Every structure is written in C-alpha cells, then in structure tokens.
Structure 1
C-alpha cells in the first residue's frame, strides 16, 4: 500500500521518532494528568509505548494483517502500571487515541486521488488496531484495579473487624499497610427503603446496591478519608477516620441530611468520636442509641448520647425497670389508649397535634387521656405525674 508514491509502512517507520516527540509534547500540554507525572516517566516508558505502537502499526501495514495478542503485552503491562499509579483510564486511552490519530492524520495528509483505494484499506486497519489496543489496555487496567480494590477492601475489612472486636491492631496495620487514624467517628445507621427498592420496575438487589454505593461515597466525603463500613441496605456500622478535634455536630447533622436526600431513604444515625481502643464501646453505645430512638418513634436524623440522656439511662437494666413498667399495666389490652398516651407525651402534651397524628378529633384525645388517668391513677398533664409516666413508657419499650 502506497501514499503519494511511497510505501506507507516505510513512511510510518521513518516518521516514528518525530511523531513520538510530537505526541508526547501534545499529551503533556493537553493533559494535566500526564503533566503531573515525573518527566522521566513520560519521556521514558510512556514515550517508548507510543514509539512501539507506531513501529508495530508499520509492521502490520507492511504484512497486511491484524495485531496478535502477543504483540500487545507491553501495552497491557503499561496500562496496569498506570492503574497502580492512579492514572484515570480515560487519560490512558486518550494517549493511545491521540498517538494513533496524529499518525493517521500525517499519513493521509499527503494522499493523492489515486491513493483512495489504499487509504480506505489503511483506514480500516487503523480502526482495527485502535479497537484491539483499546480492548487490551482497558482489560489490563480494569483487572489491575479490581485486584487492588479487592486487596484494599480486604484490608479495610480486617482493620474494621479488629477495631470493633478490640483485637490488637499492630499486626493488622502491618499486614494491610493501612494507616490507623487518631480517632474514628463511630456511626450506627438504621436505613429505610428508598423509592427504587419499593418500586416494582427495578430489581430489589440492583436498587439496594445502588443505594449502598451512593451511601459509601457520601460517607467517604465526610472527612475525605475512606470510611470503614459493614453496611447492608437496612443499616450497619461505619468508622470514619478523623483528627483529634471533635466534629462540628451541627455540620455533621446537615451532612447526614444530605446523605438521606442522595440515597432517597430515611436514616436514623447515632454517632460518637472514639480513639481506636475505645471503638468497641463506641459501637455498642451507638447501636443502643439507634435502637432506643427507633423504639421511641423519634424522627430520622443524627443522634448523640446528649440527645437521649434520660431515655438512655432509664433504658438501662435495673431493679426499678419492671416496677416502672407495671405502672401502665392497666392499659394492656387497650391499644388505642396506649397509643394515644405515647403520642400525647411525644407531642409535648399538645392535644391538637396528638389528634392530627392519630387522625381523630381533639375531644377524643381528651376523653382517652381521662380514661388513662382513671386506669393508672396518674394524670399525664400533671407536672408531678408526667416524669413517672414518661419513665414507665421508656421502661416498657426497653423490656419489649
């Protein structure tokens, strides 16, 4: 095949060195990713791969054939090294497309009308070569990333397990190569279903995985460090590396609300900051808080121990537990009275808010509260009786 009276393979071989230099110059000029790489790497290994591609294509043109897989080994190895360095795949592919594109442009620029048949054949070979390169390079890159992520995830799981179990950490840190944070924001999460999971047109498994990917991404952004997580679609535990200074809890509440919007599901979250050795107790505490706010019917959001101090203390096992719970025994078997009492207390003794929540008339609330007072011998609206009633409700919830 000839272009302007000269064999195309000879033209490509003769121009390979000059084209390589021009490709590298343009690559560094156009791509911040390659501009940030060490210059010796760009002028060394990467330039060698560009030159190798041009020489290989010249051989393919001379022999009128497609590339063998064995001829793309160096390109695959180079892609794997770029994956290790964190160079994005799109930047890797851009380099190959740029090199092939500039070579083709120069090759066809001198073509004459009589060269059209050979130009068509060459163009078909260019596209086939680029296709094979793209497949080989992408596969090698993604395989290396998969191996790296598998090893990284395995290391994170090992570190997470050791932290939560209170096991010695030195061996785990040495084996995984992960850095131990000064402190961790321990979060326990209870997560509701989102619209995709409830919908009939989307696979529940796909919807759950999508929700979890979004959640993981949002948790990683809280401090900019990858979160250690054991979470399924219904909730779980997250340990987020953080500095010694406590987080801004108002800002963290706003962040949790943003996460809720992103995943499209309600979340009840409890958090506490703990040193590595304090993580087991922190996880136990946050799990208790989430269970407590769930039983109490608290709204979604972020909770700390300070937010539920009284309820938490009253929910701890004690000799007074059962005695407190028996205060409400007269309401057993009368679910409408028990529900109205709980709603009335939760709404700050506001009869209209209680009526709206239960979808009944306010007079019905008054009647039921009189019946409650008659049965238990205490009046919810009486400041002297209310603490006992509130404690009894907490005790009954704690006892299940």
Structure 2
C-alpha cells in the first residue's frame, strides 16, 4: 500500500510544471507546435526581407536571360520590352509580398500584376511566350534559392515558388482566354460590318479601318453568294473561318436573310477558293463574282455575285458554282444595270459600224443557218464562217453555241436600245 502511494506521488511530480502547476501531455504538444510555427514564421520573415532586398537584381537578371534565350523577345520593340520588364518586376514584387504573408492563408495575387501591361501587349505576346517568360523568372529565382532563403528556409521558398508559378500560369491562361473571347466578339461585329458595307457598296475609309483592325492584307479577292445551310448561322460562319485558317486563306462571311455571302482573300485561283467554301453552302445556286485586286474593289464582285444569285432561277441548268459573268444575259433581263452595260460594251460596241454586226444579227434571226445568212447578205458561206470567227475573237462569245448565241442576242438588243435612246454604244 505504501509503495503504491509512493509511485502515485512520483507520477504526479513528473507531470508538474516548474511552477508546480499540472501540465497535460496535449498541452505540451500544442506548445511544441506553437514553437515550431514561430520558428517557421521567423524563417519566412527573414527570407521575405532577403527577397525584398534582391528584387532589383532579380528583375535585371530575368531581363538579361530573356535577351539571351528568347529570340522573339529580342525582336520586340523597345517599348514592348520595357513593358515586359515592368510586368516581370511586378510579378516578383507580388510574389515577395505574398510570400511574407503566405502563412496567413492569403491567396496568390497572381492576376494583379497582369494589369500592369497595356492591352496592346497581349496582342504582341502570345500565351506560349508568356509561359516562356514565367519559366525564365522562375529559373532566375530558383538559381539563387540558397542565397535568398534564410537558414532552413530553402525548401519553404521552393514550395512557395511552385505554388505561385502554378497559379500565375493558370491566371495567364484565363487572361488570354478572356481576351480571345472579347476579341472574337469584336472581330465578329467588324466582319458583319464589312460584309454589309460591301453588299451595299459603301466603300469608304471606315471599311479600310475595319479591315485593318482584322488584319486583312490578302489579295486578290473574290466574293461568293448563295444560300446558307439549315444550321446555326454562327456555326456556319465559324466553320468557314476555321476552314480558311487551315488552308491559310482570309475569309469574311455573313448571313443576310436567305443569303450567305463569303469574301475570300489570298487564294491562288478562284477554283481553289471555290473548293474551300462551296461545301459550306446550302442547296441552290452559288454565284462567284469577278476576281478583284483588293478588298476596296470587292463591292463590285459582291454586287455581281448577288445579282447573279437573284437571276440564277432563269437558268435552271446552270453549273454549281457558276460565275456571275456567265449569267450576264439573265442579270440584264432582271434589271442589273452593271450587266446591261457590260453586255453593250463587250458585245455591241466592238461590232458597231462593221459588217460583223449585220452578219451576227442576220445569223441569229435565221436560226443559226449559214446558208440562209449567206443568201440574205449575198456572200459566200465561207465569208459568213470567217465573220463568225471574228465575232468570237472580239466578243468572247461563239455564235454557233446556243448559250453564247443567247447572250449575244441580248447584248445586240441592249446595244440597239442604247443607240436608239441617244446613248453611246
């Protein structure tokens, strides 16, 4: 009994503190944890002070390494390089400030220093290049971890760098995604304005400004007009843009009511352009306007393509796609003044005042009969053949071909009307 009491008293004394107060094992663990945390906080504070003193040299070292390792950085303007230097310095400063309070659970201020850069810089520097910049800044800091960290704080600094750069990388992706989305919406509005202006023939300084904002530089230019497919209009336009990017063509597209207008720039030939865009149209005719040298002249191509689409119903067997110039006769009958003027200039004017005009008129009126034409003109049939070949050379239309004969007939009638009304053929 006495022995048990002795052991009990000894156990009580072993758990008494120096002041005689009883100390539980859990309290002692909490005290040790508190001491460890104070030590970590001191290491963190000392490391933060070292980082603060080294900020200038870190920024300078990062810029020097960018100059050395990144060819695209050296190609930037002095102003853009200066802005990147400010962004890098702001990023280092933000890290130092955050590191000093990271133990308090503060989130990383990774998005704040991106506001340092102007919007134009985000257009000059791609997301991949931004990742290269982040990587170099990390390499510069990591190379000096042993020097920058307080004794026992190297691992803490490395872990903080990993967390911070991870958040910065995600933030960079978010910033560029938002910029791309905003730019995409703005570009879509500009595209719609350009297509609408060309369709209405309003070619002015505004058109050039909009085209410059989109980066349009391609030549030559050709316009396609047809009907859209039964799909979401935006998906149709997005699909055209994506297809153009894959083959290095510049495309502008717009859906106006029941018409799909596509402007193609930079194609090697109209045939190449048609191979890319025709599959994106819906059922019905597709008309190709004449090729023009630049976007400024594209209103002419658009006007011809739309007039051809309107008149295409008069030629049910027209090929798909069909060139607007192949529909000159139908366009002229539909009231297209451009087509009427072009037919008079290409068919009537070259023949006016020569025996060729009478020969053509007689040949067409006699149902394309050589013998009947020769009898009425009192010439040999070979003379008629010769004159018909000359007509083909001068106008580009062959009187012996049914389709060409129809176009020549319409051009002849329009020329006579123009002459009769006091116009000059």
TM-score range, shorter chain: 0.5 to 0.7
Which residue does the alignment assign to 1:99? 137
In the alignment, structure 1 residue 296 sits paired with structure 2 residue 317: yes
- Shift, 1:99, TM fit: 0.8
Describe the SS at the equivalent of 1:236: strand
Which residue does the alignment assign to 2:58? 19
Which residue does the alignment assign to 1:228? 252
Which residue does the alignment assign to 1:73? 112
Describe the SS at the equivalent of 2:125: coil
Deviation track 1:43-95 (CA, whole Å, cap 9, x = no partner) reads x3322222232233223223334665767433234273422x43212212321
Task: Pick the aligned partner of 1:313 from 316, 329, 332.
Answer: 329
Give the Cα–Cα distance (whole angstroms) in 1 for the partners of residues 313 and 137 of structure 2.
59
Give the Cα–Cα distance (whole angstroms) in 2 for the partners of residues 228 and 61 of structure 1.
49
Structure 2 length normalisation: TM-score? 0.52
- Shift, 1:282, TM fit: 1.8
Q: Which has the larger radius of gyration?
A: 2
- Shift, 1:135, TM fit: 3.8
Change (3 A) 1:64 1:99: same
**Alpha carbons 1:184, 1:241 under 8 Å: kept:** yes
- Shift, 1:164, TM fit: 0.9
Give the Cα–Cα distance (whole angstroms) in 1 for the partners of residues 44 and 204 of structure 2.
72
Describe the SS at the equivalent of 2:161: helix
Figure out how many residues of one structure are paired with residues of the other and give that number: 291
Unaligned runs of 5+ in 1: 194-203, 319-385, 392-400
Which residue does the alignment assign to 1:8? 47
Describe the SS at the equivalent of 2:261: strand
- Shift, 1:229, TM fit: 1.5
Change (3 A) 1:20 1:305: same
Alignment of 1:161-180 (within 5 A): 161-167=196-202, 169-170=204-205
Which residue does the alignment assign to 1:256? 274
Which residue does the alignment assign to 2:241? 216
Structure 1 length normalisation: TM-score? 0.55
Give the Cα–Cα distance (whole angstroms) in 2 for the partners of residues 88 and 3 of structure 1.
40
**Alpha carbons 1:76, 1:137 under 8 Å: kept:** no
Task: Pick the aligned partner of 1:273 from 291, 295, 319.
Answer: 291
- Shift, 1:230, TM fit: 0.4
- Shift, 1:284, TM fit: 1.8
**Alpha carbons 1:183, 1:276 under 8 Å: kept:** no
- Shift, 1:157, TM fit: 1.9
Change (3 A) 1:292 1:258: farther
Change (3 A) 1:284 1:175: closer
**Alpha carbons 2:47, 2:148 under 8 Å: kept:** no
Deviation track 1:142-196 (CA, whole Å, cap 9, x = no partner) reads 4344434433432332232122123463466568876999985221245769xxx
Describe the SS at the equivalent of 2:59: helix
Unaligned runs of 5+ in 2: 1-39, 335-400, 407-425
Looking at both structures, which has the greater relative contact order when contacts are Cα pairs under 8 Å and sequence separation is at least 6?
Answer: 1
Give the Cα–Cα distance (whole angstroms) in 1 for the partners of residues 278 and 301 of structure 2.
25
Change (3 A) 1:92 1:240: same
RMSD over aligned CA atoms reads: 4.8
Give the Cα–Cα distance (whole angstroms) in 2 for the partners of residues 68 and 100 of structure 1.
19
Give the Cα–Cα distance (whole angstroms) in 2 for the partners of residues 58 and 103 of structure 1.
11
Change (3 A) 1:121 1:4: closer
Which residue does the alignment assign to 1:287? 309
Give the Cα–Cα distance (whole angstroms) in 2 for the partners of residues 265 and 98 of structure 1.
51
